[in-house]
Amino acid sequence: MNIIRNIQLLVLAVLLGCGAAGCSLFDDFGDTKSRNNPGNGNNESDGGSDASTDSDTDSDSDTDSDTDGDTDSDADTDTDTDADTDTDSDSDSDSDSDCTGQPDFTPCSVITFPDRDYDICVNENCVSPGCDGTTCNVPGPHFPLADSNQRACYDDTSELGVCPVASGDFFGQDAQYGWDFTHDISERFSRTEPEANEPVVEDAVTGLMWQGCTNPMTGSDCQDESPDDTIWTQAPVVCEGLEWAGFSDWRLPDPFELMSLVNRFIYGSSSFTAYFPNMVADYYWTTATTASSKDYGWAVSFNYGTMREYGKNGTYYVLCVRGTPDTAPSPRFVRTMPVTGQSVVEDNATGLVWQGCARGRTGSACEIGSPETFTWMDALAECEGLDWGGRQDWRLPGIIELASIIDFTSYSPCIDSDAFSINAPDDWFWTSTTYAGSFGFAWTVDFELGRMFGEVKTFEGMIRCVADSDK
């Protein structure tokens, strides 16, 4: 870093009043939340507070006693009125110049404190993912979507010996569509050791390279050293300073990147253990800040497979990634109405086509009708039989597909309201993916905050069907 850059960083530090501990301007606050389903971790007690302010009173038949013990009662009522209004991203005032007219994920350069090498354009602003605000959250996946690795079919309670046939009950599950349907997992991952005791894992589907061991573990099987948990603000610093396997351009993964590593076919250690040995069955940090509160960051569980928010002062684990992202198509979403009242949304980033309204609603802005709810079995059948927008090839989305349209810069709903209408419900939507920890549950996505949990299959959730693009 040259002399001018050092001076700029020093001035920025003085203006922000930063000390050795960093520049976090926000304190944790308390909020207690319970969700009685197995997808959020049986009797799991997290180190931070749940950022949700919703009063989820779901009365489904799930009797799991998990209380996800977020009992932090810190009543911090900090009302700091510091005149510094640049609290959304720790970037310098010239950050927009590199990104005007540029697509998302275009590499750029911005000085932040602490400064990082990984800077990208998001909404024509140059940002460093992992800053203390939602403007630095990535807008979506920048890579071809990986599949979930779910390779069996299920009914409401158990695994089926043979997957259902078309038009039969429970047809249309995750295992019957996608990359996994035609490929073996050995075609996706390869684990090598470019330097002694420093393995890496390359993903042929996403194009990403992963640190082969949880930080700071080393060894061919990650048998040396112990995993180290850290607070959210330090997690990007860990990856930024990593020298591993001859590479120095490591970074903390965003939520879409880290979710791609969850193995939905096993439970209790939801990782691809043959390629990521000794991975901790716990939460790992991502770069994303929750839209509902800057005091919370998004984390992904490699025990249960859930994704949820935790207080940034909680300590969780770090796995670093590298790889230059593909620039995003512009526009990403294109909303059209091939049939009167039946809108569809094409996602140019993933190659998927979405039902433009939650099932039960119609109209150019989904203003007619009310969202309908379905059990998991009926949700599968409803999408398989759907005739919408001139198409009949709809299906219930898998969890990776549905999570790809979460908008981590907004909440209630956390979805692009321009593409999916201002009437998009902020509720729980079914996926076609069964929860490996209990075959009577399937994965849902919460479009209020962006969480992913398992829900009992007799619960009635909303649906948004998906199809593959014709392009």
312-324: per-residue pLDDT in tens?
Answer: 999 999 999 999 9
Q: Quick check: do 47-74+87-146+188-326 and 333-468 share a fold? A: yes
**pLDDT by residue (tens digit) across 344-403?**
999 999 999 999 999 999 999 999 999 999 999 999 999 999 999 999 999 999 999 999
Q: How far is CA 91 from CA 22, 82, 159, in A?
A: 14, 17, 51
**pLDDT by residue (tens digit) across 152-190?**
999 999 999 999 999 899 999 999 999 999 999 999 999
User: What does the radius of gyration of the chain's CA atoms come to, in whole angstroms?
Assistant: 22
pLDDT for res 122:
95
Q: Beginning with the edge strand found earlier in the chain, give each strand of the sheet holding 198-203 in spatial order.
A: 189-195, 198-203, 209-211, 321-322
**pLDDT by residue (tens digit) across 114-124?**
788 999 999 99
Q: What is the CATH number of domain 47-74+87-146+188-326?
A: 3.10.100.10
Say if residue 58's pLDDT is above 90: no
HSE-CB for 332 with a 13 A CA cutoff = 23
Residue 68: beta bridge partners?
A: none
Please tell me the distance from the alpha carbon of residue 307 to that of residue 326, in angstroms, as a whole number: 24
Which residue in this structure is represented by tokens 């390629």?
A: 275
Nearest to 213 by CA among 259, 275, 264, 302: 275
pLDDT for res 422:
86
In the chain, where are the structural domains located? 47-74+87-146+188-326, 333-468
> Beta-carbon neighbour count of residue 71 at 10 Å?
15
pLDDT band, residue 463 (cuts 50/70/90): very high
Quick one: what percent of the chain has pLDDT higher than 90? 75
Say if residue 14's pLDDT is above 50: no
Cα dihedral sign, 34-40-45-47: negative
Nearest to 293 by CA among 404, 411, 405: 411
Reduce the DSSP state of residue 323 to 3 states and report it. coil
Record the tokens describing residue 328, joined without a space: 């995003």
Per DSSP, helices labelled H in 105-183 are: none
pLDDT for res 97:
58
Say if residue 95's pLDDT is above 80: no
Query: Which amino acid, residue 237?
Result: V
Q: What is the CATH number of domain 333-468?
A: 3.10.100.10
pTM of the model: 0.81
Which range has the worst mean pLDDT, 45-49, 134-138, 205-209, 421-425? 45-49
pLDDT for res 257:
98
Say if residue 25's pLDDT is above 80: no
Query: Cβ(28)–Cβ(441) under 8 Å?
Result: no
Residue 333: beta bridge partners?
A: 347
Q: How far is CA 53 from CA 30, 50, 175, 292, 412, in A?
A: 10, 8, 35, 8, 11
Element (H, E) at 378: helix 376-384
